[in-house]
Structure 1
Amino acid sequence: MSRGARNLADLKGLFSQMRKVKFTFLLLVVISLSSILLFVLMYGNSTNETYEISAYEISPKTIRSPKTIEDTEKTELERVRAEQAVPASYRFSEDIMKNRQAIISSIFTAVSEVKMEENKETGMTAGKKLKLLRGKLEGLEKEQSFLRLSDDQLKQLLTSDQTEIDNLHEQLLTIIGEELSKPFKADQLSTHRYEVERQIRQSSILPSGLLDVALSLGRTAVVETEVIDEELTEKNKADARESIEPIRILQGQVIVREGQLIDRDIYQQLKLSGVLTNQSSIKPILGIGLFVLFISSLIGIHFSTWSENNQFKKKAVLMFYVIIFAVVVLMKIISYIDNEFDVQIAFLFPTALAPMLIKLLINERTAILSVIITAATAGIMLQEGIAAILQMEVALYILFGGIVSIYVLSAHGRRSTILQSSLAVAASNTIFIIFYLLMTQTSYTLPELTFYAVAAISSGVLSGALTIGLLPFFESGFQLLSNMRLVELSNPNHPLLKKILVETPGTYHHSVMVANLADAACESIGANGLLARVGSYYHDIGKTVHPGFFIENQHAGQNLHDSLPPEKSRDMIIAHAEDGAKILEKHHMPAELIAIARQHHGTSLLKFFYVKAKEQGSDVAEDQFRYPGPKPQTKEIAVIMIADSVEAAVRSMKEPTPDKIAALVEAIVRSKVEDDQFEECELSMKEIKQVKKVICETLNGIFHNRIEYPD
């Protein structure tokens, strides 16, 4: 046995074992294992390059920041500096003048009160008066320490004439009031005190003792009238702090150049950028893990909600992941060599490979999912330079190319239409490349522009070429029958069809008629019309073993069954189903076509020979004249069974009319239903009614009335 045959046998054994596994369990296992593998493939493309560098070393190469990050230490330092540079804010206070005048008045009021008590109490000594005055000023002196007058100054006030004291009081209030009505700060205090002293000296003639008291009170009463506005100052400092923008290390910014000394500040920037080998971050691991979990969930939901038979869904899941991993591995290879070029070689990636394969092998809905997953994965894996999250232009490039391929590629998937689709993808890629080059606003050299043009076209052409090249491997490996394969098998030049045409021309004509009926009927109920048509072409290939025993291949009225016993005729007729299946198996034809050849008669009764045997007096059971089956397992085979019986019966009618045809079709279908031939397939009574209608319409078109031409 050849290696190819052994591999095919192994695959058949694998798929045979898969039939026993529940789809939900298989889906869970495949998604789990694939998620782990996908995470491993993607993780290396999401982490930054790190360097083993210490402070105060010479940098071995130019290092750029792989991300934009704030230098919080420098930002805080600049904000503190800005805050400290804000001058204090002042406000003018009119209350200071009033308070100072009130303090001066309080002193003179105390002196007046002591004088009044002196008048009431005769013989009060100077010491007692001084003590009494000190007592009255005690509280004021504690709060206003600058008003501490000497004993001599207080005695001078107590011994002076009241008129002089009142004049001095009024004079001080006026001078201090005028001076304190002006706004000035502490640094101008000496100037204003000098002005008060000057005015006191010039405004009146006072005894030297009172003049000394006036100068002392005037100087000490003058204070700055502009005080610090704490609230406004804090607000200005806060505004200055907030005005400092965060100091960031930008993505792509050169942190240190090759040969430059790594000082403390540079080392801190390297540390913040996360490019040192002693730094490990769990964030990329969590990010990629979350991404893989998300797309795995999408895939799980997609296949779980897909209304298709579980056996095909099992193959579809495996095919989907094989294709996805094939393109991911291709991305990995491109990512390894991308840094060696000055242009984005990621644009060479065949954007439509995955969606075209999946549409042809599975369906359009799954192909759209593959485009989304492939584009997002490529954005992460095909990062160029210092990009740390997603290469958006590459993701959009693959997304648009894939979507165009899905819409343009026809369902039957002939090679010519695949090539046409690849040209449409190339056009889409070119338009996107032009958009990309215009948006970057960068000047490109002629070689660079040439590369991008070639990359866009090559990506589309490669998508089609690889699809055509890989499709047979998937069809063979997964035992699938794609529309493209069906179209190839329908070619009249196929060796087996030629065999039917040459050896059994009547059977060939009959098969073509059955194909027309079955195709139209299947399309009307949503079944696979193309499969029914191609299956009909081959369903009677078993008749090539003994062609003369079938009436459509007999000539000159010779019927070989006239000379045979019914049992022998039965064996010849029944054998054609199994003979046909064996011929198709020998030529490695698709399993679906083999099933059609084997099942298209189900367990039907060979009524003609059964009745003949009974008439000859043989004691035979009905089961002995039935086909061995199995009964039709799919809608397509059930429809072919009906079309096969109806076509043969209508062809034997002498003058077929619409009413006769309808009655015959109704009788044949009723007999099949009553014989339980459709109990193992999913053909409903509503669909059977539609099949009868379409077959009648098709037959009426074939056997329409014709005008007679004159001799």
Structure 2
Amino acid sequence: MFQPLKNLIKSLNFNYLSLFVIGLTAILLFSFMYGNVKKETYELKEFQIAPDTIRSVKTVEDTVKTEQERQRAANEVSPVYHFSEDIAKNRQAIATSFFDFLIEVKGPKTESEDPPDAEELKKIKKEQIAKMRKKLEKLEAEVSELQLSDDAIATLLTLDTDILMNMQKRLVSILGEEMSKPIRTGDLSTSRYEVERKIRLDDVFPQATIQSMQAIGRSLVVETEKENEEQTKAQIAQAKESIEPTRILQGQVIVREGQVVDRDVHRQLKLAGLLTNQSSVKPIAGLSLFVLFIAFILFLHFNTWRANSSIKKKALFIVITIFFLLVILMKLISLIEKDFDVLLAFLFPTALAPMLVKLLTNERLAIMTTIITAATAGVMLQEGFAQIIQMEVALYILLGGMVSLYFLGNGGKRSTILQTSLGVAFFNMLFIAFYLLMTQSTYELKELIFYSIAAITSGILSGALTIGLMPFFETAFRLVSDMRLIELSNPNHPLLKKVLTETPGTYHHSIMVANLSDAACESIGANGLLARVGCYYHDIGKTIRPGFFIENQHAGKNPHDDLPPEKSRDIIIAHAEDGAKLLERHKMPIEIIDIARQHHGTSLLKFFFVKARDSGVDVTEEQYRYRGPKPQTKEIAIISVADSVEAAVRSMKEPTSQKIAALVRNIVSDKLNDGQFDECDISMKELKQVEKVICETLNGTFHNRIEYPE
């Protein structure tokens, strides 16, 4: 029934197929998610009559009212001022320095026999003023208002040193008295007036210097108590934080039927996302971008994955199938979640997608699937209108999925899956505990019990569904997962029992080839488990005519001695195809069948070819070659080498490490020159590594032993 469809898919180019499948996926995903984005809204304007009683479907914060309350609290906070004694001392120091400069410029009084004339006095005065100006530059830089005229400086320079020292002492005292009090910006005028008044009434200051001293005193009076902006801001912030947010609670009536929708009500409706307006198309546009983003990730992942086209096609359909199974489950949860007060999304099997995809394909695909599943669940399982994505749900699924990949490791046994499920359940409980603590809400006992059960159910359900769905995927896609391979490696499998009982020599040979192939595959990053299990079955065709193969001949008689070369050829060559057909009848995975059919490739049966040629028969090499095809994968190529090497080494009388190395090198070289690796992607570097590992393994098997005394 589905064969024509399978043939069509097989014939299509992967790029075109992926575009079509991922495009169809995007359309279906959009249709599933559309209902979760499009909410019920109302066409209402200000001062209209409400047609229904409208309740908020989500607890949202009324930011406008909250901000108004916080601003009111901030306005009630008084500024914090800080008084500094250092300011008064600094200003007193400036006043002291000013008079010190005057005294220094004036210099000591000298007795001169010839008093200077008027011209010389004028010159001295000018020099003193210039010196004083030079010294005042530093003070003026610090106190910009400290500006004195040349006349004022000249007047001060004419005073005796004793008078200047008294004036210095008194001015410093006046400044100290006034600036020891807290002076704010608004108090500056009063304080400066008081300093001017004290200078004017003090007899220490000569009448000619009053104005100069008042100017100096006024310029030196500044605020001694300034606003501490950091502390003020901190108190304002504390006052704002003390105001609890004003919320529109879930289920709260915003407007009743028949009530006028005033501006405040209209704003609350808009805040709750209950109004129909031009911006209502934005969530739909956002959903379209989200779906395109998911589609782009899928397309980019598969088109950057270097793998066989048939493998990629199969993996693509597996991922899409698993993804939509989970999307359907999300849809069901979102439909029934409205009737519950708890977050039902925590029941979602977080580890189902990653475990299934990893066991059926690979870990890289499993990580990608986990990410897109978590993102999709965050959108589909959201509550109300205020959120873009339900972040706790997205993180719950993402972290649960990633944890499952670490627990699962490289194992595919059912016991490993169950252990992984328990590990995921434990980490689910930790995440839910984090969620409940971060919400800072009070929960009833029944809610706590539900969330605990949900965490455990999610983990156990992930494992149970994985084990339950694996056989369906393996059958539908003819897959060979690690779990399936481990089952096939069981010695109690009917076909392996058949090999053991009917062809014991072949069974032992298969075990040895499996050890060599497994080690070699693992060393180059190929699938060692697939190679090992494939080796167990690769010579199953020999069970049809066991006595015609040397490893099963125990009586010393070789039936080929009595047969013509062409008859022996047909019997030997047939075992590859006979084995493939036998495996097909038992519905074995295609990878195992390919190993049985391809492990000899199109190699030459040299023994019987030479025997026929020496008998005088006109023969060609093509007549004595296996029917193929040549190995198509690295695993089969390695098995073909290991198969030939094991048989050849066993025939050596005294194998040494040098002989083994030369033999392995020659076999690999012969197969390479014969074109047996032309159709698989194994590299020369990898072949060298395979040679090395096979030699090491064989040296461990055929090592020298101690000869025990009789």
TM-score (norm 2): 0.70
**TM-superposed deviation, 1:590:** 0.9
Preserved contact between residue 255 and residue 265 of structure 2 (Cα < 8 Å): no
Residue in 1 that maps onto 2:397: 398
Q: Residue 261 of structure 2 aligns to which amino acid in structure 1?
A: R
Per the alignment, residue 432 of structure 2 pairs with 433
The Cα shift of 1:497 comes to 0.7
1:469 maps to what in 2? 468
Q: CA–CA distance in 2 between the matches of 1:277 and 1:688?
A: 67
Q: Quick one: which amino acid aligns to residue 36 of structure 2? A: N
Distance 1:16 1:636 in 2: 26
How many Å apart are 1:431 and its aligned residue?
0.4
Task: Pick the aligned partner of 2:33 from 34, 38, 42.
Answer: 42
- Tell me the distance in 1 between the aligned counterparts of 2:648 and 2:704: 18
Give the Cα separation in 1 of the matches to 2:499 and 2:680: 29
Where does residue 537 of structure 1 map in the other structure?
Answer: 536
Take 2:348 and 2:35, find their aligned partners in 1: how far apart are those partners?
19
Deviation at 1:679, TM superposition (A): 1.6
Provide, for residues 634-675 of structure 1, a one-character-per-residue CA deviation record: whole Å limited to 9, x for no partner.
111111111111111111122211122222222222222222
CA gap 1:588/1:249 in 2 versus in 1, 3 angstroms: same
Distance 1:393 1:506, change over 3 A: same
- The residue aligned with 2:14 is 23
Match of 2:253 among 235, 246, 256: 256
**1-structure distance, mates of 2:630, 2:503:** 26
The separation in 1 between residues aligned to 2:57 and 2:527, in whole angstroms, is 58
Alignment correspondent of 2:547: 548
**SS at the partner of 1:537?**
helix
Deviation at 1:271, TM superposition (A): 5.6
Question: 1:450: which partner in 2?
Answer: 449
1:673 aligns with 2:699: no
Q: CA deviation at 1:592?
A: 1.0
Aligned counterpart, 1:169: none
Q: Give the equivalent residue in structure 1 for 2:266.
A: 268
Q: How far did 1:676 drift?
A: 1.7
Q: Which moved more, 1:609-618 or 1:623-632?
A: 609-618
1:602 is displaced (CA, Å) by 1.1
1:257 deviation in Å?
6.3
In the TM superposition, what is the alpha-carbon distance from 1:68 to its structure 2 partner?
6.0
Inter-CA distance 62–264: structure 2 relative to 1 (3 Å threshold): closer
Distance 2:683 2:424 in 1: 42
Comparing 456-465 with 290-299, greater Cα deviation is found at 290-299
Query: Where in structure 2 are the equivalents of 1:27-176 lying within 5 Å?
Result: 27-50=18-41, 55-56=48-49, 59-60=52-53, 62-64=55-57
Correspondence 1:277-288 to 2 at 5 A = 281-288=280-287
Instruction: Give the Å deviation of 1:29.
Output: 1.5
Asked if the contact 2:370–2:398 (Cα under 8 Å) also holds between the matched residues in 1, the reply is: yes
Q: Which residue of 2 aligns with 1:510?
A: 509
Distance 1:251 1:634, change over 3 A: farther
Give, in angstroms, the shift of residue 67 of structure 1: 6.0
1:328 shift after superposition: 1.1
In structure 1, what is the Cα distance between the partners aligned to 2:485 and 2:415? 15
Segments of structure 2 that go 5 or more residues without pairing to the other structure are 76-239
Percent identity for Structure 1 against Structure 2? 64
Name the structure 2 match of 1:655. 654
Tell me, what secondary structure is at the counterpart of 1:604?
A: coil
Structure 2 counterpart of 1:637: 636
Counterpart Cα distance in 2 of 1:691 and 1:499: 31
1:282 counterpart SS class: helix
Which moved further from structure 2: 610-619 or 463-472?
610-619
Partners of 2:350 and 2:397 within 8 A in 1: yes
Structure 1 gaps of 5+ residues are 1-5, 83-243
- Provide the C-alpha distance between the structure 2 equivalents of 1:451 and 1:701, rounded to a whole number of angstroms: 57
CA contact (8 A) 2:254 2:265 kept: no
Q: Deviations over 1:68-104 (max 9, x none)?
A: 67789x99xx99xx9xxxxxxxxxxxxxxxxxxxxxx
Higher Cα Rg: structure 1 or 2?
1
Residue equivalent to 1:91: none
Cα deviations across residues 562-597 of structure 1 (Å, max 9, x unaligned)?
Answer: 221211111111110000000010011111111111
SS of residue matched to 1:350: coil
| Contact kept in structure 2, 1:58 and 1:261, CA below 8 Å | yes
Q: Is the alpha carbon distance of 1:48 and 1:397 closer, same or farther for their aligned partners in structure 2, counting shifts above 3 Å?
A: same
CA distance, structure 2, for counterparts of residue 666 and residue 271 of structure 1:
80
TM-superposed CA distance for 1:384, in Å, is 3.0
Q: Which amino acid aligns with 1:689?
A: K
Give the Cα separation in 2 of the matches to 1:325 and 1:249. Answer: 41
Q: Distance in 1 between matches of 2:498 and 2:468?
A: 28
Residues 685 and 396 (structure 1), Cα distance of their counterparts in 2 relative to 1, 3 Å cut: closer
Q: Quote how far apart the aligned CAs of 1:251 are.
A: 5.5
Deviations 1:152-207 (A, max 9, x none): xxxxxxxxxxxxxxxxxxxxxxxxxxxxxxxxxxxxxxxxxxxxxxxxxxxxxxxx
Q: In 2, distance between residues paired with 1:253 and 1:298? A: 36
SS at match of 1:281: helix
Q: Deviations over 1:403-457 (max 9, x none)?
A: 1111221123221111111111101100011111222222222222111111101
Residue 63 of structure 1 and its aligned partner are, at CA, apart by 4.1
1:575 equivalent in structure 2: 574
Instruction: State the Cα distance separating 1:295 from its structure 2 match.
Output: 2.2
Alignment-mate amino acid for residue 368 of structure 2: L
Kept in 1, the 8 Å contact 2:378–2:394? The answer is yes
Is residue 557 of structure 1 aligned with residue 548 of structure 2? no
**1:409 alignment counterpart:** 408
Contact 1:67–1:388 (CA under 8 A) maintained in structure 2: no
Alignment partner, residue 606 of structure 1: 605
Distance 1:16 1:334, change over 3 A: same
For residue 503 of structure 1, report the CA deviation from its aligned partner: 0.8
What residue in structure 1 maps to residue 152 of structure 2?
A: none
**Maintained 8 Å contact 2:50/2:256:** no
SS at match of 1:342: coil
Q: Distance between the aligned counterparts of 1:686 and 1:61, measured in 2?
A: 72
- Cα deviations by residue, 1:667-699 (Å, 9 ceiling, x for unpaired): 222222222222222222222222222111111
Measure, in 1, the Cα distance between the counterparts of 2:57 and 2:614. Answer: 98
Q: Return the alpha-carbon distance in structure 2 between the equivalents of residues 435 and 622 of structure 1.
A: 72
In structure 1, the residue matched to 2:316 is: 317
RMSD: 2.8
Q: What amino acid is the match of 1:312?
A: I
Q: How many residues align?
A: 533
CA distance, structure 2, for counterparts of residue 667 and residue 59 of structure 1:
89
Q: Is contact 1:23–1:314 with CA below 8 Å preserved after alignment?
A: yes
For residues 351-402 of structure 1, give each alpha carbon's deviation from its aligned partner in whole angstroms, at most 9, with x where no partner exists: 1111111222222222222222222211111123555422222111112111
- Counting only pairs closer than 5 Å after superposition, residues 198-213 of structure 1 correspond to structure 2 as none
TM normalised by structure 1 equals 0.70
| Distance in structure 1 (CA, Å) of the matches to 2:432 and 2:51 | 41
Aligned partners of 2:323, 2:268: CA distance in 1, in Å?
A: 37
